Amino acid sequence: MGESISSIRPSFNRSVRIEGRPERLTGETGALLLREADERLGLVRDMAAQLTDRRGASVHTFPELLRTAIMLPALGWRDQDDADFLRHDPALRTAVSDDRGVTPLTDCDDTPGGLASQPTLSRLHEALSTEENRVVLRSFLLEGAARRLKSQNGGHRQRYVTLDIDSFPIEVDGHQPGAEYNGHYGATIFHPLIATAAELGDILDVKLRPGTAHTAEGGLDFILALVKAARAKLCQVAAVRIDAGFPDDETLSGLEAEGVPYVARIKNNPVLDRMAEPYLARPVGRPPLEGRMWTVELGYQAAAWSKERRVVLVVQEHPGELFLHHFWLVTSWTKDQMPADDLLPHYRQRGTAEGTFGELMDSIAPALSSNKRPKSHYRGRRLPEEKRLNLSYWTNEVRLILAALAYNLAHVVRSAAETAIGAGMTIKRVRERLLRVASRFTIHARRIIVIVADDVRERWNALWRALRRLDYVATNT
């Protein structure tokens, strides 16, 4: 077992002795599951092939650095300093390495053989911050979802997917470019756009925006680019679901011009309140113990709209409340295509999509830089003024995209786990039960043996069988 190098005796039980031994122990065995999921979809491999690496010579290959930057937040390690803390973790070293055989563990005492350091990861983020690299990173959010679904559907796209578009705040400290005080949220934030799909659970795109950006700012271009990519890779028909911050005439007309069906909530105003008033009467009879809801079909043209559009009034009766509640939906679907009674539950699926980016903030918690001063020089050269102001901002967008990629990778494992056990799970639950697993790594002959507890082995056997169904690489090579 090796020579004891330390010994601690707890006072509550003197029969317990804590010793340190030179063994390869880890609590991050789930990194192997993440690597298996990525390998079967070929994501990091193909992403690295499309990215431009201008860092020069490095101990670590580009795919190894990308895996490190994605796997660490997927496992719950959100700071770059965590890579230094976990530098010689055997599970992470094995999972991120390009090397085969026992090579990933044969030089554990050699510093260059460990995980990338914090400065190396910072240089990676800067190398990825060019516009062409950010476009590639963002494209692999949707690409990963498409590959997962095709591998499960015999190589076929989905028939129909609804794209949920929203904005959300990321509260930050420090004075990084683009982070501004937002009065609506009462905090200094970035205000990115995010696209998800309630049916899939994947994040399909993210785009960083300054903290003072309006909800709909840049929304139309963001949506149309995503719809085009989704139609090409993900589904045959892409619809859009948006909240009350987005439906200005430019956005709605742009979607209609491209033939993109949509449903959106619109904010109440005095005109809409007057339109609703005749329908805000309780039905005759004693109110039931449970709440009731009904819909009314109408047409409405806001002063800023170029034409009249179909709107649906939704009236809600809550038990024990004197007054009725109401809100409005606007849609490009006709009554025949989507009756009002179907439109409302369709819109309410936004709650599932909102849970996705809520889970991103809760389980991945993107750590954006608090660097106070934008860089004036890069690689020994003075930056032009426009790049000097933007480098830190675009590096933060890279961190946000990598966090979304980490979420999607964890979601692949989560989907396989739900298939294996037949029940829903959160990313945090997957991490606690399946990823944060203790094990011992040993080298025997030319093999790495990973020893886990029997109950873990049983859970992993079922999960591994589900992961084997992700055969995208095998069917596309």
pLDDT in tens, 83-105: 889 989 999 999 999 988 888 88
Domain range for 279 is 262-331
- Cβ of 42: how many Cβ atoms within 10 Å? 18
In-domain check, residue 282: yes
122 shares a domain with 35? yes
27 shares a domain with 106? yes
- Interval 172-200 mean pLDDT: 88
15 shares a domain with 96? yes
Environment class of residue 200 by beta-carbon count within 10 Å: exposed (0-12), middle (13-18) or buried (19+)? Answer: buried
* pLDDT value, residue 109: 46
Residue 223 has pLDDT above 80, yes or no: yes
416 shares a domain with 306? no
In-domain check, residue 317: yes
Environment class of residue 79 by beta-carbon count within 10 Å: exposed (0-12), middle (13-18) or buried (19+)? Answer: middle
Confidence of residue 12 (pLDDT cuts 50, 70, 90): very high
Which of 86-90, 113-117, 245-249, 455-459 has the least mean pLDDT?
113-117
Domain boundary among 293, 315, 331: 331
In-domain check, residue 219: no
> Looking at the 3D structure of the chain, how many domains does it have?
2
Q: State the DSSP string of 220-279.
A: HHHHHHHHHHHHHHTEEEEEEEE-TTS--HHHHHHHHHTT--EEEEE---HHHHHHHGGG
In-domain check, residue 393: no
23 shares a domain with 113? yes
Domain boundary among 331, 346, 369: 331
Between the alpha carbon of residue 30 and those of residues 95, 255, 422, 430, 460, the distances in Å are 9, 42, 20, 10, 10
In-domain check, residue 104: yes
Between the alpha carbon of residue 322 and those of residues 246, 279, 296, 319, the distances in Å are 32, 15, 21, 9
Structure tokens at 170: 């990321």
Confidence of residue 2 (pLDDT cuts 50, 70, 90): very low
- Cβ of 159: how many Cβ atoms within 10 Å? 9
116 shares a domain with 19? yes
In-domain check, residue 348: no
Q: Which residues 6+ apart lie within 8 Å of 24 measured at CB?
A: 90, 105, 108, 440, 441, 442
Domain boundary among 279, 300, 331: 331
In-domain check, residue 340: no
**What does the pLDDT look like over 358-370, one tens digit per residue?**
899 999 988 887 5
